[in-house]
A and B are shown apart, each in its own frame.
Chain A
Amino acid sequence: MSSSPAPAPADACPGPGYASPQEAIRAPREKVVYTICLYEGTGVEEPDYLATIDVDPESPTFSQVIARTEMPIIGDELHHMGWNACSSCHGDGSMARRYLIIPGVRTTNFYIVDTATDPRRPTLYKTIDGEEIKRKTNLSAPHTVHCLGSDIIVSMLGDAEGNAPGGFLHLNRDFEIVGRWENDISGMRYNYDFWYQPRHNMMVSSEWAAPNTFLPGFDLEDVGKGKYGQRLHFWDFAGKRIERTIDLGEEGLIPLETRFHHDPDSTHGFVGAALSSNIFHWYKDAAGEVQVEKVIDVPSIEVESFPVPMPGLITDILLSMDDRFLYFSNWLHGDLRQYDISDPSHPVLTGQVWIGGLLGKAPEVNGHRIAGAPQMIQLSLDGKRLYVTTSLFSTWDNQFYPEMKGAGGAMVRVDCDAENGGMTLDPDFFIDFGKEPKGPTRAHETRYPGGDCSSDIWV
């Protein structure tokens, strides 16, 4: 761990975010959070929207959706989002964490939403037309958005026709298309998530599949044909090219979310292989060589009447800001887990809760029936409150949890013991997206206005 600087006076560094992860942990508690709501495949033909959710227990509208920022058209499938600025430009007084960049996976449209003018009622500031992005960059199907100093890079999962491997889109601070970010895509078969660690000139990217493979839904035959990923790519970040590719093999099928330690001096990180349902740990050894090892294995479960054993399907993982706990969701089994990763090679299970799921262990939470299971998770900066939503992706939802399209998604809050480990479901908080004014919606990724445990990077 690097020595942490003393908390800076508020005016010492005028840029966004925090001087260090230690300072981020001490940030004020979140009062609202922003969550993606989507209507694809529900039968409600309405635009997707960003929901603003009141999470302040002192507020009269606590545990309610207080604003809905609607997109202009139907069919985008809003999915993941990122900030225009984070702690990576903490030293730049001309930047502010003001805009959420929210792309649509199915249309490649980008929506820039202003959350600063009124954090309780965000407004659409700018739209980037997906057809223009396809034309200028031959990229489609946006996924992860990271700011990079004052610029923005986005992992794009396909070319303009939805074929692999895609690449990385570069936007400038005014949300203009600069072009492709990478200098060379050689070695990449598929694309998905990425995270960078600039002090070590490292970037890691993972592999889902071509949009034409995953957009229509999940098919085991496609896995057999090699149409899903199993590789991790370690980039020369400054050179914008892949330095080393590691094949995770059958134990590493569909590596999705990549999470570096928040500590900018660390080379350690983790990735969840969704289909194989294993967690892998990577780091650079004393000789500077990248090492990757499997550290958690979630066994598949034989379900009566299912001919194929059912994997947990680890769809989202994240690390607490102090790098002590790793959280992940098993979207098919229905459990959410917390591991102590003080020794990153030997994680220790410290907490587990059940929310919905196909094993039927927790059909109800707080008196509400759950049509789905824990999926996207987002942890408060102090490590104490985990917000959990239930939708994965509209077509995949309709395969595994077809009842979600009528019942809607849910958000629950899990209270986490950041000292001793352990998790409990918060009995006072529940968002039932089945009761939305225009009809039941799915609920996907969540972001906190002041940053969260997957939004900020320190340079």
Chain B
Amino acid sequence: MARTYRVVLRNRDHACLEVGEEETILAGAEARGFRLPVGCRYGGCITCAAKLIDGKVVQPKGTALKRRQVKAGYILLCVARPRQDCTLEVGVESHDALFVNPFAVRGE
């Protein structure tokens, strides 16, 4: 039997989801009736980005997140599967550090 983990959506009234280890966090959230940002559903477009505050997930190699975005704590909920209990900040309000104007910043 597959393990399940507790995934807390900190900025959704600390809602607690039970997400199976083979299930994406997005699927777990949608099954509970949450409507979170989503686009491609294959890890290619970062619309569903969320901040991992605590815990651990696995994602396929080569998602659309840049190194800078991964360092800032972002994961892609459409492909991320839990490996520990997790706490997340979700939705566009978690995207404060996701986007930069490339002409306004020095290269990294």
Contacts and interface: CB of A to CB of B under 8 A. Distances in A.
Interface of A: 40-43, 45, 74-75, 77, 106-107, 161-162, 211-212, 215-221, 303, 305-311, 332, 394-395, 398-400, 402, 405
A215 B102 contact: no
B107 A220 contact: yes
Contacts, number: 95
Contact of A308 (B39, B41, B65, B103): B103
Nearest to B34: A45
B83 interface: no
Interface string B39-66: 1111011110000000000000000111
B40 A215 contact: yes
A107 B106 CA distance: 33
Interface residues of B, number: 29
Contacts of B41: 75, 107
Contact of A75 (B38, B103, B106): B38
A174 B32 CA distance: 38
Contacts of A74: 35, 37-38
Given A41-B37, A41-B47, A402 B99 contact: yes
Which of B36, B41, B65, B101 has the most CB atoms of chain A within a 10 A radius of its CB?
A: B101
Contacts of A332: 103
Contacts of A215: 39-40, 44-46, 64
Interface string B49-92: 00000000000000011100000000000000000000000011
- State the main secondary structure of chain A at its contact with B: loop
Given A43-B91, A43-B92, A212-B64, A75 B98 contact: no
A45 B37 contact: yes
Interface of B: 35-42, 44-47, 64-66, 91-93, 95, 98-107
A311 B103 CA distance: 9
A399 B101 contact: yes
Given A215-B64, A221-B107, A398-B95, A162 B44 contact: yes
Given A307-B105, A399-B102, A405-B92, A40 B37 contact: yes
B37 to A, nearest CB: 6
B36 A45 contact: yes
Given A162-B44, A212-B64, A215-B45, A398 B99 contact: yes
B47 A395 contact: yes
Contacts of A40: 37, 39, 47
- State the main secondary structure of chain B at its contact with A: loop
B69 to A, nearest CB: 8
A218 to B, nearest CB: 6
Contact of B47 (A75, A162, A307, A399): A75
Given A74-B37, A220-B107, A398-B95, 14 more contacts: A75-B38, A75-B41, A77-B39, A162-B40, A215-B64, A216-B45, A216-B65, A217-B46, A220-B102, A220-B103, A306-B103, A306-B104, A399-B100, A399-B102
Which of A43, A162, A216, A221 has the most CB atoms of chain B within a 10 A radius of its CB?
A: A216
A130 to B, nearest CB: 9
B61 to A, nearest CB: 12
B102 A219 contact: yes
Given A398-B95, A398-B98, A107 B47 contact: no
B38 A395 contact: no
Given A107-B41, A211-B44, A216-B66, A395 B107 contact: no
24 contacts: A40-B37, A41-B92, A43-B37, A74-B35, A75-B38, A75-B47, A107-B39, A107-B40, A161-B44, A215-B45, A215-B46, A220-B107, A221-B107, A303-B104, A307-B105, A307-B106, A395-B45, A395-B46, A395-B99, A399-B101, A399-B102, A400-B101, A402-B99, A405-B92
